[in-house]
Amino acid sequence: MFKAPRGTSDILPQEKAYWKYIEEKAVYLCQLYGYQPLNTPVFEDYQLFAHIAPDGADIIKEMYVFEDRSGQKLALTAEGTAPICRAYLEHGLFNLPQPVKLYYIIPAFRYERPQAGRYRQHHQLGCEAIGDADPVLDAEVIELMYRFLSSLGLSELLIEINSIGCRQCQPGYVEALKKYYSTYRDRLCPDCKVRLARNPLRLLDCKEVSCQEIITGAPKITDYLCSECQTHFQSVQKYLTELGISYQLNHKLVRGLDYYTRTVFEVKPEGKGVQIALGGGGRYDNLIEELGGKPTPAVGFAAGIERIIIALKNQNVIVPTLPKPVAYVACLGTQAKLEATKLVSRLRHQGIAAIQATGDKSLKSQLRQANSLDVKYTVIIGEKEVANETAVLRDMSSGEQKTVPFNEIASLLEKR
């Protein structure tokens, strides 16, 4: 038997209720904040993603890479920001009034070992504000992300923010960090030894107990920010405070992707359950330039839909059920079936969701099915009804029935 590939899953109708709920909220809020939808393809030129992280980085190694028949090297979309920036450049969106504000809901693919909240195919809702360095946008994006999650009914959300500086000031900090760490070299965990050489900022993110002590004494990046970055970061915080968004500074928060500059942030649920980030993001003022555009500041976030669903379930948030059919049309006999077929078609033409009984079931079993479909009404057409051109209309919750002419059924149901 075939199975869905590892780390992927089918989204069954019941689960789809969560998706619909989340997507509708996302679309509503994004347009409310002035973000417009933009969809990028499921695969891209492999090189596009080379800019999001250094060569040996996990996210690069985890990409689904393949060649098409022409020999072009492609990759399944690993994250949303680089493709959006590609589209921004490709379609000359820099000619629009800046910032250009875009959102997307896309699948993302990474070849990882699956676990709770981590899949080989997952879906991200992302928002990007491109073309403006104003710290008010950093705050807007954080507010939008927070509002999105809390309006879904999630509570106990913790926002953490940090600034990781810019091309001017970050190298100085990295040097200081390296210098500090070099004195502890032999006490580091194996992962951190690699980090020290490859991506020193990530040293701060280590969860190994033995490394915690070292992290505690490490220099803080916020002490090394240039005055511009410092001002920017302070403004972001001021705006957040004014907006009533509570946040926590976390000078150890660095984020994995290479393109981030200045503001970085994450949201995760506090309390019980898995403590995974539901979303995160930050400013990426260098990415567009690296992709071949003019220097263009930008800021954005991405949230993981599957993780949000996990959090909704953890917090027992009730989501609306998917719409149910209104009417079930039961019939007895060949003539009646013909009339039922026509009636169902007519109901559907009028926008009334209707289900026709199929097969040759007893009335009892037809009603059982109607019951389990949770319809409001069952229409019953038997031989008597065919002769009189009527049907029995049964209200499924009260059990009340009345006989009505064929041509009145649709309008009768429409009114209710």
Partner RNA sequence: GUGGGCGUAGCCCAGUGGUUAAGGCGCCAGGUUGUGGCCCUGGAGAUCGUGGGUUCAAAUCCCACCGCUCACCCCA
115 counts as binding RNA under rule CB under 7 A: yes
**Size of the chain in residues:** 416
Check residue 340 for interaction with RNA (CB under 7 A). no
Identify the bridge partners of residue 66 per DSSP, sorted by sequence position.
Answer: 74
By CB atoms closer than 10 A (0-12, 13-18, 19+), residue 197 is exposed
CA 9/CA 12 separation, integer angstroms: 9
DSSP letters, 37-56, are E----SEEEHHHHTTSS-TT
Listed ranges 1-9, 83-91, 172-180, 340-348: which one lies at the site for RNA (CB under 7 A): 1-9
- Position among 107, 172, 219, 256 found at the interface with RNA (CB under 7 A): 256
Q: How many chain residues are in contact with RNA, going by CB under 7 A? A: 67
385 is an interface residue for RNA by CB under 7 A: yes
Dihedral (C-alpha) 385, 387, 390, 396: value to the nearest 10 degrees? 10
Site for RNA in 287-306 (CB under 7 A): 302-304, 306
Cβ(183)–Cβ(302) below 8 Å? no
Terminus-to-terminus CA distance in the chain, angstroms? 46
Piece of the chain touching RNA by CB under 7 A; list 35-43, 206-214, 242-250, 342-350: 206-214
Work out the number of other CB atoms within 10 angstroms of the CB of residue 380: 23
In the region spanning residues 62 to 81, those forming contacts with RNA, defined by CB under 7 A, are 62, 79
Choice between 113 and 415, CB closer to RNA:
113
* Residues in 116-155 at the binding interface with RNA, rule: CB under 7 A: 116-119, 122, 124
371 near RNA, judged by CB under 7 A = yes
Helix, strand, or coil here: 286?
Answer: coil
332, 344, 352, 413: residue in contact with RNA (rule CB under 7 A): 332
Would you tell me which residues interact with RNA (CB under 7 A)? Answer: 3, 6-7, 53, 57-59, 62, 79, 108, 110, 112-119, 122, 124, 191, 195, 202, 205-208, 255-257, 266, 274, 276-280, 302-304, 306-307, 332, 361-365, 367-372, 380, 382-385, 392, 394, 396-399, 401
